[in-house]
Every structure is written in structure tokens, then in C-alpha cells.
Amino acid sequence: MALICPKCGNQSPLGRVFCVTCGTKLDLSHMSSEVVSESEKPSWFAAYWRLVLGAFGVVILILAGVAFWPDTKVLGEKGPVLRAKFVEQQFERLRLLRAGTKTKIEITEKDLNTFLAETKTKKWEMASVSVAVSEGYLTVNAVKTITSITMFGHTWEPCYSYTLVCVPAGNAIYPSKAKFGHLTMVGPFRRVVVNKLVGLLAQEREWEVLRGVQEVKLTAGKIGLTIGK
């Protein structure tokens, strides 16, 4: 609240006797104790800013929790356990391919998921690694368990997930979308997801074979590869 000077019309803060601009004595006759008390009441924001800030923080935490909540859904389907051995034999045959030759192979989504579940998931210390092969693109999902907590007879295993959507381009498969949990990652954060999943594969013997890929074809449920040396 401010006092208006009767002479110059400028405002002076409450508590002044003379105008801060022209020095004229201010009219204080209407300044009752009730008016002064009312003017000294804190604003709504000043009174409730902690509550507003706390509510805003809770909303942010909820949104972040939803965004980063892991996508634990296992993609695609698995085949019989013996098909994992078949995929291993396919990769070994390609690894021994003679220089100057090339060949084509086809791996089904079921066989690849069986291969990952039986030979890679435990080795990579993952809860699950799965793929879904669609027309023109491939989706990979990896779930990592952080720890295991048992309370009141129930076990809780907090985890996080990486999801990568890839599309073929010539002799390679390129990432078109990356997610951490349910949050789509961009820029350098997207690179973190890509490096995580590619890093797992790059330490395997099969990586040597995949480096010789000359053509990739993705159809519903199947991956076609032309590989040469």
C-alpha cells in the first residue's frame, strides 16, 4: 500500500509523513489501525509459496517416474530351446566363410529370441533381451535388474530398460529411435542408449560375422542377411 501526495500525485511508501518527491506533508487521517494491519498482511504467494513449490515438485517427480518407468514387456516370441543351437551353428558357419565368398541366411524372430534368451541374457546380466522384427524395422528391448529387495514376504526387483528401434540402410542397421524406460532420448542421451546395446553385442563372437554384412532385409518375423568376406 502507498500514500498519494495531494500536491504532486506521486506515491510514497507506507510509514512516510512527507512526500518523497516534493516534501509536502501527507494526509494520514484515513490511516486507521485496521487499514495499516490490512496493508501489512502478506500476499497469497508469500503465505503459500512453500506449499506451491512442494506441489510443483511432487508433480515433477510423478512425471519423471512415469517417463523413466521401465518397459519390461518381452518383445516377440520364442521358439524351442534347441533353436538357440541352430542360430549358433549359423553364425559359426558364417564366421568360417572363405575369403571372396558370400552367402545369404534368414533368421526368424522366434529363433533369434530363443538364442538371446538361452545364450546372452544371463551372460550380459540382464533380466531380459528380446527383439521384434517388423516390416522395415527392428525393435530391441533390454531390461536390467538393479537389485532385489525382499520385504514382508514379497520380493521387489527395481530395474531399468533400454529400447532401440532400428531401420536397415544398405549393409547396416541404423538406430532411428532410442528410449530409456518410456522416455524418448535425443542428442547425446540417445547415443548413451545406442552405445549400451551395441557395446553388449560388440563383445561377442557374432560381431565379427555381422561386420561382414552386405545387405539387410527385414520382413515381418524374419531377418535376411547377405554376408561376405
Phi, psi of 67 (to 5 degrees): -65, -45
Express each pLDDT in 134-188 by its tens digit. 999 999 999 999 888 888 888 888 899 999 999 988 788 888 999 999 999 988 8
Residue 147 lies in a domain: yes
| 1 pLDDT higher than 90 | no
Mean pLDDT, the chain, whole residue set: 84
Residues 206 and 117 in one domain: yes
Residue with cell 494520514: 28
Residue 97: count of CB within 10 angstroms of its CB: 15
Arithmetic mean of pLDDT, 218-229? 90
| 209 pLDDT higher than 90 | no
Arithmetic mean of pLDDT, 11-22? 77
Residues 64 and 106 in one domain: no
* pLDDT band at residue 32 under the 50/70/90 scheme: very low
SS3 219: strand
Arithmetic mean of pLDDT, 186-196? 88
Alpha carbons 69 and 143: distance in angstroms, whole number: 11
Assess contact for 164 and 140: CB atoms under 8 A.
yes
Cα-Cα-Cα-Cα torsion 165, 167, 173, 174, nearest 10 degrees, comes to -70
Residue 206 lies in a domain: yes
Closest C-alpha among 134, 106, 117, 94 to residue 220: 134
Residues 22 and 108 in one domain: no
Residues 166 and 196 in one domain: yes
Residues 120 and 164 in one domain: yes
Residue 76 lies in a domain: no
Arithmetic mean of pLDDT, 188-211? 86
Residue 109 lies in a domain: yes
Residues 96 and 174 in one domain: yes
More confident residue, 168 or 66: 168
Residue 111 lies in a domain: yes
Q: pLDDT at position 43, please?
A: 64
Residues 104 and 28 in one domain: no
Closest C-alpha among 216, 34, 221 to residue 109: 221
Q: pLDDT at position 161, please?
A: 93
Residues 4 and 110 in one domain: no
Q: pLDDT at position 48, please?
A: 77
Express each pLDDT in 74-123 by its tens digit. 898 888 999 999 999 988 888 888 888 888 889 999 999 999 999 999 99
Residue 74 lies in a domain: no
Q: pLDDT at position 42, please?
A: 60
Please give the DSSP secondary-structure letter assigned to residue 98. Answer: P
**Structure pTM?**
0.70
Residue 216 lies in a domain: yes
Q: pLDDT at position 126, please?
A: 92
Q: pLDDT at position 52, please?
A: 82
Residues 212 and 155 in one domain: yes
SS3 51: helix
Range of the domain at 60: 45-69
Arithmetic mean of pLDDT, 16-38? 67
Residue 75 lies in a domain: no
Residues 86 and 54 in one domain: no
Q: pLDDT at position 137, please?
A: 94
SS3 28: coil
Residues 23 and 112 in one domain: no
Residues 63 and 17 in one domain: no
Structural domain count of the chain: 3
